[in-house]
Amino acid sequence: GGSWCHVELPPVLPEALDVMWEGTVDSPVVVINATSKETLFVIRPPFGRLGRQMERKLENDTSISEIDSGLAAAHKVANAVFHLRALQCLARRCHECVKSASFAAIFEDDVEYVEGISPASAETFPRLLADAMRQVQASAGVNKLQLAVGNQGQPVNVAWRKAKCYLHPESVQGHARARLLRCSQYSDSHAYVITRQH
């Protein structure tokens, strides 16, 4: 609607995670809570670059929290666990805020509203997200809107070669400064709006 209802999930820290892998080509990689041994998620082959990193882990007896780049980087695994928990919260209606919600906005802890860069005021930003999600869901069946700003608050570069983004012919009705982009590739999802049906 027109205001935020907050669900704050507990932080997921890289040092709280570990992996189990039998070391064979067809064995899954299991990410677990290092203390409780709870299974957080399972990655099944083919692994590609992740597989090569896991092989190096076995060779060097490296903790997952010490891998600092690529798909197996500790912070990326921790982010994956956070996003999985956020999506499970929406799906399972874990909080009063999402008890009857058809979609939710999910933000990592490094995302912040930037006055003058974001396409709405702080007060109208929740309404912008709700209006945009309803519009693209109705017109194109879209079930996820990725929110994006450049590094250090810079505007998104539409022609950025990796994201391959182009201005969408539709604008967000009622929000003149907001623009929709159509992107064929994303490098990360620090913030997004997603439907419960996704």
In angstroms, the CA 43 to CA 12 distance is: 18
Checking if the pLDDT of 154 tops 50, the result is no
How far apart (Å, rounded) are the C-alpha atoms in residues 98 and 115? 27
- Most confident of the ranges 71-75, 120-124, 130-134, 167-171: 130-134
Residue-wise pLDDT for 89-133, tens only, equals 999 999 999 999 989 999 888 787 878 778 888 888 899 999 999
Split at pLDDT 50, 70, 90, the class of 166 is confident
The per-residue pLDDT for range 10-27, each reduced to its tens digit, is 888 878 888 787 867 678
Exposure class string for 81-107: b at 16+ Cβ within 10 A, else e: bbbeebeebbeeeebeebeebebbbbe
